[in-house]
């Protein structure tokens, strides 16, 4: 289907954005010889666990939709949306912890600014994913053909699992470049 192809193009383009950002970080650090010089706050681990759980609940929502278990589909979509919002809140709290540590977006060590760029760009993708999830949830309550419901669930799942994988990549990347 053309729409699914477009979704894969969006995923690929988004992947390339994150690849470019992390490459930019590597080039900057290589040229300046100055890494993050901080320890990543533990709240980012909690957000990683949260988004991984949301990927599991998204899988269960998709599975329920395919089995025509609409009540379970809605339940798991609500859980996924809740975990997505929790992830967002944890990330913003992570920014607060970074500020408490003296790590600001604008500072002499620009490599630390990359943390805000990585997480901020990812949060934009989370918002897009939440909108897709809401669309799937609304569709599950409407009297529309099951084929359309499944299609939107698949589109939402593709994007949501992508943002999960990208966050895990970013988190590991940041862990490997701390201190």
First to last CA, the chain: 46
Distances 10 to 16, 166, 172 between C-alpha atoms, Å: 10, 13, 23
Q: What is the reported pLDDT for 1?
A: 64
* Spatial CB neighbours of 178, under 8 Å, sequence gap ≥ 6: 35, 36, 38, 39, 40
Q: What is the reported pLDDT for 89?
A: 98
Task: Show the low-confidence residues of the chain (pLDDT under 70).
Answer: 1, 33
Q: What is the reported pLDDT for 107?
A: 84
123-126, Cβ contacts within 8 angstroms, sequence gap of 24 or more:
123/88, 123/91, 123/92, 125/14, 125/162, 125/163, 125/166, 126/84, 126/87, 126/88, 126/91, 126/163
Q: What is the reported pLDDT for 116?
A: 96
- Look at the domain 2-176 and name its fold: 1.20.120
Q: What is the reported pLDDT for 99?
A: 96
pTM of the model: 0.93
């Amino acid at each position: 289907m053309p729409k699914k192809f477009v979704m894969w193009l969006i995923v690929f383009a988004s992947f390339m954005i994150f690849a470019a950002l992390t490459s930019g970080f590597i080039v900057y650090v290589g040229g300046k010889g100055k890494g993050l010089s901080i320890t990543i706050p533990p709240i980012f681990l909690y957000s990683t666990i949260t988004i991984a759980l949301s990927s599991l609940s998204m899988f269960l929502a998709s599975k329920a939709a395919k089995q025509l278990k609409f009540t379970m589909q809605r339940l798991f979509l609500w859980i996924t949306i809740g975990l997505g919002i929790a992830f967002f809140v944890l990330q913003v709290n992570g920014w607060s912890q970074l500020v408490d540590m003296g790590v600001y977006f604008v500072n002499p060590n620009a490599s630390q600014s990359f943390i805000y760029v990585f997480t901020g760009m990812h949060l934009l993708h989370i918002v897009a994913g939440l909108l897709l999830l809401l669309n799937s949830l609304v569709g599950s309550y409407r009297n529309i053909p099951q084929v359309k419901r499944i299609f939107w669930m698949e589109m939402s799942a593709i994007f949501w699992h992508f943002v999960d994988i990208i966050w895990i990549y970013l988190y590991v990347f940041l862990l490997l470049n701390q201190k």
